[in-house]
Structure 1
Amino acid sequence: MFVTLGAMTARREPTSRRDRPAKPALSRQWIVAAALGIMREEGLEKVTMRRLAQELDTGPASLYVYVANTAALHAAVLDALLGDVDLSGDDDGGDGGDWREQLRAVLRSYTLVLFAYPQLARSALVARPSGENYLRLVERVLVLLSRGGAGREQAAWGVDTLLQNATATAAEQATRESDPAATDEWNATVHTLGAASEATHPAISAHMPALVAGSPEERFRWGFDVLVNGILATPAPAVAE
């Protein structure tokens, strides 16, 4: 095969750096936005420092100036998504509607945001966001609990309990929705509980079919009321100033 001198010259001619578009300066906001894009396209497991550096056309070491490690990156991604949580409702300290319904709506919105990303929902069980969106969420829950009559310690401890429960619910339900075998597994569980002998498992037998009854929405509302009623009725230890 013969290659012309002109083709060789064209192939070897270097590209001037001046002709390349300048890369935007790195920033935490840009890094998190890129991480969000990767998660949506490829899944949370692909959101690594190496993959992110490739996406941003830089070295992994450059990212550590803005994000300490992969766990911190996942927490930052979670905080960015918390911006989608609907915190709307009256917040002027007046009546402004039913505080309980408003709180339930906030937690439902939080759960649905996590539900859309099963892997992130599971990661959220241990990842602790610390950004502005997380602060807004905690602020809103504290305000609504206080409006409902919770004392300082009750509200302070209650917000953690409510968010933990909502996170676990999202992680469980999102995992089931994304698992093709989840329906078969649930049906097998229902069958096992229903077939339990009254002689050997009298408590299970006595509580069927209530053990498996109710829609996810009904169970969510009941569980929410259990937690909120418990928060309001259970004194929390006083915290020293």
Structure 2
Amino acid sequence: MPRSSPVSRRDRPAKPALSRESVVAAAVELVRELGTERVTMRRLAQELDTGPASLYVYVRDTAELHAAVLDVFLAEVDLTPVDADGDWRDRLWGVLESYTAVLFPRPGLARAAMVTHPSGPNYLALVDGVLALLAAGGIPADRAAWAVDVLLLVATATAAEHGTRAAAPSAEAEDDELVAALTDADPAAHPHIAALGPELFSGTGPDRSRWFVDVLLAGATVTPRPAKETP
């Protein structure tokens, strides 16, 4: 059999030029396929047929990459309640519920959202929308500036906790053990737990999440910021 002729590098199809947009787009597809935890700079470099060092021209580190990926997914958040009619609290809850729903099936991304600092256009649109609704509710501007951070933090933590546990094989057994421990608590050793009993785990997830938001809004309404803030 005749040997095949070697293929010159000049005859091979050229690889597409890298850009920040192409790097982030490839990372988004890997997150969809593998989950956030498995999207490292090395794995992404393999996907793009390049070396990891080449990627640092476009993103500083994995945290910045995850922040950029997060911003892409935030385009799915429904912001139509911001300009809709109706009670401002219901509209705010609608935005936060949509935000949580985007992160819930991607708990790794939700956990990353708690420690990264996204600054992309979709994140800015989300923050601006929440601030608009707080303004519509008469929340003083200085308190709204802090309240938006707390509201998004609670929504992010909710998605991270429940999304992670939904994917954990042992979650149901752990929940049953916790319910049994609270229900059967010794009144002599833990009188307050015994007195409340089932109340400690009452309510559905959405009910509790909505209550968290209402508590935060009530607190922001009546709680002024410190007169002298620590620099």
Normalised to the residue count of structure 2, the TM-score between the two structures is 0.93
SS class of match (2:155): helix
| 1:160 correspondence with 2:149 | yes
| Residue number in structure 2 paired with 1:39 | 31
List runs of 5+ in structure 1 lacking aligned partners: none
CA distance in 2, matches of 1:239, 1:121: 33
| 1:107 correspondence with 2:99 | no
| Residue number in structure 2 paired with 1:218 | 207
SS class of match (1:29): helix
CA distance in 2, matches of 1:228, 1:185: 32
| Residue number in structure 2 paired with 1:175 | 164
| Residue number in structure 2 paired with 1:48 | 40
Instruction: Give deviations 1:32-73, integer Å, cap 9, x for gaps.
Output: 110011112122222111111111122222211110011111
Give the share of equivalent positions with the same residue, in percent. Answer: 57
Deviation at 1:18, TM superposition (A): 4.9
Structure label with greater radius of gyration = 1
The within-5 A match list for 1:22-171 is 22-91=14-83, 96-171=85-160
Instruction: Report the CA distance shift for 1:175/1:27 in structure 2 as closer, same or farther (over 3 A).
Output: same
CA distance in 2, matches of 1:235, 1:137: 24
CA distance in 2, matches of 1:169, 1:226: 15
CA distance in 2, matches of 1:217, 1:176: 16
Structure 2 counterpart of 1:219, one-letter code: R
CA distance in 1, matches of 2:189, 2:228: 47
CA distance in 2, matches of 1:146, 1:238: 21
Instruction: Report the CA distance shift for 1:153/1:238 in structure 2 as closer, same or farther (over 3 A).
Output: farther
Q: CA RMSD in A?
A: 1.7
Deviation at 1:128, TM superposition (A): 1.4
Structure 2 counterpart of 1:171, one-letter code: A
Answer yes or no: is the 8 Å Cα contact 1:112–1:170 preserved in 2. yes
Normalised to the residue count of structure 1, the TM-score between the two structures is 0.89
